[in-house]
Structure 1
Amino acid sequence: MDKNKYFELLGKTFQSTEEIVSEIINLKAILNLPKGTEHFVSDLHGEYDAFQHLLRNASGNIKEKINDLFHQTLTSKEQKELATLVYYPELRLARIEHELSATWYKETIDQLIQLTRLSATKYTRSKVRKTLPKRFSYIIEELLYQNIATNDKKDYYDQIINDVIQLRQAQPLIIDLSYTIQQLAIDHLHVVGDIYDRGPAPDKIVEALIEYHSVDVQWGNHDIIWMGAASGSAICMMNVIRICARYNNLSIIEDAYGINLRPLLTYAEKYYLDNPAFRPKLASDDHVSKENLDETTKMHQAAAILQFKLEEQLVRRRPEFDMEHRLLLSNTNFQTQEVLIHGKLYPLENTCFATVNPERPDEITPEEHDLIEHLLSNFVNSEKLRRHLNFLMKKGSMYLVYNENLLIHGCIPLQSDGSFKGMTLNGKTYAGKSLLDYFETSLRAAYKEPHITQDYNTDLIWYLWSGECSSLFGKKEMTTFERYFIADKVTHTEEKNVYYELREDEAVIRQLLKEFDLNGDDSHIINGHTPIKEVKGEDPIKANGKMIVIDGGFSKPYQKTTGLAGYTLLYNSYGMQLVAHKAFSSIEHILSQHDDVLSIRRVVDRPVDRKKVSDTTVGAQLKTEIQDLVGLLAYSSLGDF
C-alpha cells in the first residue's frame, strides 16, 4: 500500500496528535507488563464435561492463586470449597443455600474481590474493565481498586456490600465475580488439535471456544475429516459417519447438526444384518435399546463399505498419493474370503460384502450414488456445522508459531536420518515447513468451494487423514479394513513415522525448530495426537525439555492404556508447567468432594528472567503498531494530519 494512503487510513482512527501520543505511551507501558498465562490443551475428542472443567479451573491456576492468597487464613478444606464456588458458582450456591447468611456473603465477596484483584495484576485497568460483567461493572471496579491502606472510604465500601446483600444481589455478584476470575486466570488458550470424534459432544466444545475470549486452534486429523465432509468429500463424510457409529455417537450428526441419516438407515436395513464386529463401543453408563443397537450396527457396516469403495476410487484417481497398497477390496477373493496384503494371504472374518461387486469392488451403484449425494448435500448445507467449521477455519491452522514455540498436532514427516520426508504434489516436491504450508493452502481452497467435489484439493484432505506423508496422521498406513475383518493383529499395526522416535533427540528437535525460524533456547515443539502411556513409564517431556506432548488421553477409550486422563500445559511469565489429570468423573463428584481432578504439576523450564509482554508474539505486534504510530506522529507534524 502507498505510504501516504496507509497513514491516511491510520489517521482516521486518531483525531489529534494528543491521541497518538497517548496511545504510544499506553502501548509502550503494556510491553512492560508480565507475560499473560497461556493454556494448552489437546485431543479433547468430544469430552465436553472434562474440557469445560479445565476451562473453569484453568488447569489448577485458580487453585494456586487461592493458596497464594489464603494459605494462612483458610484451611485446606475452605480453600477447596472456595475453588469449587469459583468453578461452578450457580451449582455451589444452590447446594449450600440453606447455609447462606449476610456474614457468609460479606466474607465470600471479599475473598472473591481479593482473588479478582490478584488475577488482574498482569493486565491494564482498561483490559480488566472490559472483562467485567456489565451489570456489576461499577460495583466491582470500585471494590477492586479500593485503597486498603486507609480507612477513609471504609463506610462507603461497607455500604456497597450491605446494599448488594439487602437488595438480593449477592448471589448474582458472586456468580459474576467467579466467571471474571475464570477469564482473568488465562490470557490465551491454545487447542492443539482433535476436538472431534469418539466423545459425545464436540459441538458443545466448539460453542464454548466460540465464546472464549482469546483462542487459537491447530487442526487435528479428526478435525480435518469433518472439514473434508463439509468441503464436499464423500469419503470424508462416510468416515465421519463410520466413526460416530463406532462410538455410538450418531446423535452428534443428527441431533447436534440436524443432518438426517434416515436414508442411510433405510439403505443399511435393506442390505446388512447384525455383525458383532460393527456393534458400537458403549460406555459403562450407555443405555441403548436393542432396536437402536441393531440400527447403529447396520449403519456402521454401510458407512464402512461405502468408505472402502470410495477410497479405492480415490487411490486410482490419485496415483501420486502412492496409496495403491490400500486397494484391499480389489485384493480380496470373495469366494474364499481371503485378502492379499503385502504379499501374504489372510482369512477374513465378520465380512459384510453384500453390496460389493466382486468384478468391480469399487463400483458405486446408482442407489448408492443418490444416497451419497443426498447425505453430502446435508453435510455441506448444515448451518450449525458450517458455523462451527467456519470458526475452526478462522481461528485454526496446520501449525502455529507463537511466543517462540511451535504448536503442531501431529508431526513433521522425517526420513530415518532426520532429514525431511518430501512429497511431490502437482509436479513440485515439498518437505518440512513448505509441505505443511501446502497442506493448509489446499485444505482452505477445498473448504472455500464445497460444491466442487473429487477435485485435487478435496482428495488431498483424505490423504491428510491417512497418507504416509501427512503431518496429521504420521503413519505408513491406516489399517481400518484390517481391524474390522482380520483376526491376525500383525495386520493391525500402523507403523509410525520416524519422527516419533527422533523427537526424543534434542539435536533433531532444534533442527526442526530452526526450519520454522525458532532458534532460541526458550523454544519448544508442543505436540498432541499420540497418547502418552504413563503407566508404562513414558515421559511427556522429551529431548531435554525441547519437546512436550500434551495428549495424555482425554478420550475415555484411551485411559486404560495411558493410566490418566490427559495433560495440559501452562506457560506464564515464570515458565512452563505440565499438569497431569485424573479421570473426570462428574460435576456432582466435584461439587460434593471438591476434587478438581488435578494430579501432578511438573516444571518444564524456568527462564532466568521473568518474561514480559515485550518478549511475546503479541509484543512483537505491539512494537510494529508503535512504529506505525511514531510514523503517523511525524506525518501529522508536517501538517498533513
Structure 2
Amino acid sequence: MTNELTGSEVKTIRDLDYLTLLAKQYPTIDAATTEIINLQAILDLPKGTEHFLSDIHGEFESFRHVLKNASGVIRNKINDLYGNTLREAEKRALATLIYYPNEKLDMLDINERELSDWYKVHLFRLIEVCKRVSSKYTRSKVRKAFPKEFAYILDELLNENEDRINKYDYYNKIIDTIIDLDRSRAFIVAICNLIQRFAVDRLHIIGDIYDRGPGADIIMDMLKEYHSLDIQWGNHDMIWMGACAGNEALIANVIRITARYNHLELLEDRYGINLLPLATFAMDTYGNEELKNFMPRGVEITEKNQREMEMVAKIHKAIFLIQMKLEAEIIYRHPEYGMNDRMLLDMIDYEKGTILVDGMEYALNSKEFPTIDPKNPFILTEEEKEIVDRLKRSFMNSLRLNDHVKLLYSKGSMYKVFNGNLLLHGCIPMEASGEFMPIMIDGEEYHGKRALDELERLARQGYFNNDPVLREKGLDAMWYLWCGPASPLFGKKKMATFERYYIEEKETHAEEKNPYYKDRENIKWIEKILEDFGLDIETSHLINGHVPVKVMKGESPIKAGGKLLVIDGGFAKAYQKETGIAGYTLIYNSHGMNLVSHEPFESTKKAIIEEKDIVSTVMVLESVTSRRRVADTDTGFELKSQVEDLLQLVNAYRKGYIKEMIQTAYINETKP
C-alpha cells in the first residue's frame, strides 16, 4: 500500500501540521512502520461478537444469566472445544462454573485428597475455553483484560508455545504451583470472568432497562462494570432520566408505575427516595373503596397483605391525580405538542360522575376526587405542592440514581449506527403515506434523523443545563419523549392511562400505534429510514425493541424481508403471557447473525444448583462464507484511516518534509 505525497500537496494543505503532531507519537520511520504492521494485522482478525438485548424491564436475574452465558455463545464454545470428549453433564457443569464460579466453588463437596485433582482438571479445561474465546483478539488487548495479580501466569498459560521444549512439565508446574499455594479458587474466578469478558466484544442495550421488574438498579450496577457498552434510550428509561433531572410530571409517572408493580422498595430502600409524606397524605385522603384498578399487578391479595396492598393502591391513586395536574401544566406551555385532549380533568362532570372523551360521554367507575376543585381542576392543593417539592428534592439529590442516570447519558443516545446497523428502541414516526412525521420543536419542523438528533440534544439539555429556561425546555421535551404522539420512543397517538383506570369501556383503552408499526413489513419504508441515516440498504438492518413480538399468535421478529429485526420478545414477566417466550437476543459475530429466543428463566438458584441453563433456540438470520474481519467494521474504518495517516508520515520522513527524532545515547569512554 502506498500513498505518495507531492511537495505541492504538503505545502498547500494542513497535512504537514497534522503530520508534525503525529511525528511526536511516532518519531521515526521504524516506529511508524511498526505501527502500520500492527494495525494491518488487527484489520485481518475476525470481528468481535456483538450481543443485543432489549426491554429488560428490571428482570435482573434473567438479564444477569443471559449476560453471563452470552446468549449461548459460551456453551457453543464448550461444545466446539470438547465435542464428544466430555459427557453432557460435564459440559453443563463446566458452563455453570464459568457463569457462577464463586457460587459453584462454595458448593464443592469433595474431600481434601480429591480436591487437588478436581482443581487440576478444571483449571486445564478453563484455560482451554479461555484460549478459544480470546483467540480473535490481539495479545495486547487480551493482556489488558488480565487481573494484575494473575497477569504473568495468564499470559504464559494462554500464549503457551506448542513447540516449547518440556512444555508439558512447564505447563503442569504452573498449575501445580497455583494449587499448592491455595490460589486455585481465586484463579478460577479470575479466568471464568475473563471467559465471560472475551465471549462478547460489545454489548448493545436497545432500551427499557427500567420499570415493571424489581431490579433495574442491579442491572445498572452490572452495566457500570461492563467492558464495552452502548444504550439506546427507551421510553421507560427516559422517565427515570427526567425524574432525576427534576421533571415533576415524570417523577409522578415513576412513582405511579413503581407502585403499580409493587416495587416501591426500589425507590425507598435502594434509591433513598422518601415516600413517607406521600404515603401519609394518600392514607389520610383516600378511602378503601374503589381501589380495584389501583391495586398492584401480579400480587395475590391475602388477609396478611391486604392492608399493605391497600396502602400501595392509595399511593398509586394519589400520585396519578397529581400526575394529571402536573402534565396539564406542560401541555398548556406547549400548544405545539397537540395534546390538549390529554388534559381530561376539565372534561369530567363531577356531580354526574361522567367524562367526555373524543366527544363521547362515559360513566366513571369512581367519583372519589377529594383533591380536585371542579372549577380549577388542574391546580395542586397546598399539601400536594409540598409533597411534589419534597419528592423533587429527593429524586434530584439521590446519589445512586444520579450515578445510574449519568451512565445512561454517557453510554446512551436516542439511536446508534454501528457496524452497518441502526439501533433504535422505538420507531421513526411516519405518516400513513410513508413520509416522515414532522415534530415541531421551537417553531421548526424536524423529521427522521434530524428529529432524533434534536430531541437527544434537548434531553441532554434538560439534565445538564444550568439556565432555568433552557433546562425547562429540555425537561418538557423529555416528558414528550415519554408520551407524545410523535415521540420516537413512544410511537402511539395517545397514552390512555386515565381511561384504563376510570372507564370500564375497553374501546377507550386503545392506544393507536404510529403507522410505522402497521406497515413495518414494508421494505420501502425501512429502506427509506436506513437511507436517512446514511446506511447501505442492501446490507444494513434496523434493530428495534419496544413492542413485544407476539410469538403465540404467529408473529415473526423478522420483518421487511429481514431488514428489520424486533428483539423485544418478553424479557419482562408481565409480557410473557402475550409473547409465549421470555425474550429475544441477537448475536452478530464474524460468521453472521443469529437470533436467539429464550424460554422463561426460573431462578439463579436453580441455574446454579441444578446446572440448569436457559433453554434457547437459535435461528440463523445471515451467514457468510468468508468470515467478517475487523476491516469490515467501524473500528476497521478508523484503523484504515490511521494506516493512511501513518503512510503519509513515512513518506514525509522519506521526502525530507519532517526529520526523524532519533535519540542518540552518548557513552563517555575513559582509558583504563
TM-score normalised by structure 2 residue count: 0.92
Partner of 1:61: 73
Correspondent of 1:305 among 321, 327, 332: 321
Aligned residue number for residue 540 of structure 2: 523
1:405 CA drift (Å): 0.3
Q: Which has the larger radius of gyration?
A: 2
Structure 1 residues 217-226 or 630-639, which shifts more? 630-639
1:232 matched to 2:246: yes
What is the CA–CA distance in structure 1 between the aligned matches of 2:479 and 2:14, rounded to whole Å?
42
Please tell me whether residue 506 in structure 1 is matched to residue 523 in structure 2: yes
Among 268, 276, 280, the residue aligned to 1:266: 280
| Structure 2 match to 1:92 | 104
Structure 1, unaligned runs of 5 or more: none
Question: What is the rounded CA distance, in whole Å, between the counterparts of 2:72 and 2:302 in structure 1?
Answer: 30
User: What residue in structure 2 maps to residue 28 of structure 1?
Assistant: 40
Equivalent residue runs for 1:180-219 within 5 Å? 180-219=194-233
The percentage of aligned residue pairs carrying the same residue is 45
CA contact 2:72–2:616 (8 Å) conserved in 1: no
Matched to 1:31, the amino acid is: L
Whether the 8 Å CA contact 1:380–1:450 is kept in 2: the answer is: no
What does residue 366 of structure 1 align with? Answer: 382
Q: CA RMSD in A?
A: 2.1
Give secondary structure in 1 for the equivalent of 2:429: coil
Structure 1 residues 378 and 2, CA gap change in structure 2 (3 angstroms): farther
1:551 corresponds to 2:568 = yes
Q: Is 1:344 matched up with 2:340?
A: no
- The 8 Å contact of residues 350 and 367 in structure 2, kept in 1 or not, is answered as no
Shift of the 13–199 alpha-carbon distance from structure 1 to 2, 3 Å rule, reads farther
CA distance in 1, matches of 2:108, 2:382: 63
Instruction: Give the 3 Å change call, closer, same or farther, for CA 422–560 of structure 1 in structure 2.
Output: same
1:318 is aligned to: 334
Contact 2:20 2:658 in 1 (8 A): no
In the TM superposition, what whole-angstrom CA distance separates every residue of 1:343-369 from its partner, at most 9, and x where no partner exists?
101111145411011111101123222
Cα 1:611–1:283 shift into 2, 3 Å: farther
- Answer with 282-291 or 360-369: which moved more: 282-291
Q: Name the counterpart of 2:3.
A: none
SS in structure 2 at match of 1:604 = strand
* CA distance in structure 2 between the aligned counterparts of 1:447 and 1:474, rounded to whole angstroms: 23
Aligned position for 2:666: none
Q: Which moved more, 1:186-195 or 1:77-86?
A: 77-86
CA contact (8 A) 1:48 1:201 kept: yes
Q: Deviations over 1:505-545 (max 9, x none)?
A: 22221221111111242210000001111111110111111
Deviates more, 1:64-73 or 1:21-30: 21-30
Tell me the SS of whatever aligns to 2:461. Answer: helix
Farther off after superposition, 89-98 or 288-297: 288-297
Letter in 2 for 1:336: K
Instruction: Say if 2:530 and 2:537, in contact at 8 Å, map to a contact too.
Output: no
Task: Identify which of 603, 612, 624 aligns with 1:595.
Answer: 612
Q: CA deviation at 1:5?
A: 6.0
Q: Which residue of 1 aligns with 2:86?
A: 74
The one-letter amino acid paired with 1:368 is E
Residue identity in the other structure for 1:119: V
Quick one: structure 1 residues 357 and 181, their matched pair in 2 at CA, closer, same or farther if it must change by over 3 Å? same
1:494 alignment counterpart:
511
User: Which deviates more from structure 2 when the two are superposed, residues 612-621 or residues 567-576?
Assistant: 612-621
Among candidates 332, 350, 355, match of residue 334 of structure 1: 350
Q: Give the aligned partner of residue 143 of structure 1.
A: 157
TM-score when normalising by structure 1: 0.96
- Please identify, of 224-233 and 443-452, the stretch whose mean Cα deviation from structure 2 is larger: 443-452
Deviation at 1:300, TM superposition (A): 0.9
Q: Distance in 1 between matches of 2:105 and 2:633?
A: 39
The superposition leaves residues 587-613 of structure 1 with CA deviations (integer Å, 9 ceiling, x where unpaired) of 121123322113210011113432111
Structure 2: how far apart are the matches of 1:303 and 1:14? 62
Aligned pair count reads: 641
2: CA distance between counterparts of 1:154 and 1:284? 61
How far residue 90 of structure 1 moved from its aligned partner, in angstroms, is 1.1
Paired with 1:133 and 1:284, the residues of 2 have a C-alpha distance of 47
SS in 2 for 1:476: coil
CA distance in 2, matches of 1:255, 1:329: 33
Q: Which residue in the other structure is 1:620 paired with?
A: 637
Distance 1:283 1:210 in 2: 31
Secondary structure of 2:498's match?
A: helix
Change in CA separation of 1:484 and 1:18 when aligned onto 2, cut-off 3 Å = same
Unaligned segments of structure 2, at least 5 residues:
1-12, 662-672
Q: Is the 8 A contact 1:466 1:477 kept in 2?
A: yes
Residue identity in the other structure for 1:523: S
**Does structure 2 retain, via aligned residues, the 8 Å contact 1:230–1:450?**
no
Cα displacement string for residues 22-46 of structure 1 (whole angstroms, at most 9, x for unaligned residues) = 2222122111111100000000111
Q: Residues 244-263 of structure 1 correspond to what in structure 2 (within 5 A)?
A: 244-263=258-277
Q: Does 2:95 match 1:83?
A: yes
Q: What corresponds to 2:670 in structure 1?
A: none
- 1:295 matched to 2:288? The reply is no
**Comparing 265-274 and 36-45, the one that deviates more:** 265-274
Amino acid at match of 2:596: V
SS of residue in 2 equivalent to 1:439? helix
Of 398, 417, 428, the match for 1:412: 428
> Shift of the alpha carbon at 1:232?
2.0
In the alignment, does 2:409 pair up with 1:393? yes
Is contact 2:582-2:599 (8 Å) kept? yes
* Bigger shift: residues 290-299 or 259-268: 290-299
Check 1:33–1:466 CA distance in 2 against 1; reply closer, same or farther (3 A cut).
same
Q: Which amino acid aligns with 1:638?
A: Y
Indicate conservation of the 8 Å contact 2:531/2:537, yes or no: no
Give the C-alpha shift of residue 333 in structure 1. Answer: 0.7
Whether the 8 Å CA contact 1:574–1:611 is kept in 2: the answer is yes
For residues 577-635 of structure 1, give each alpha carbon's deviation from its aligned partner in whole angstroms, at most 9, with x where no partner exists.
Answer: 00011111111211233221132100111134321111111112222233333344455
2:622 to 605, 623, 629: 605
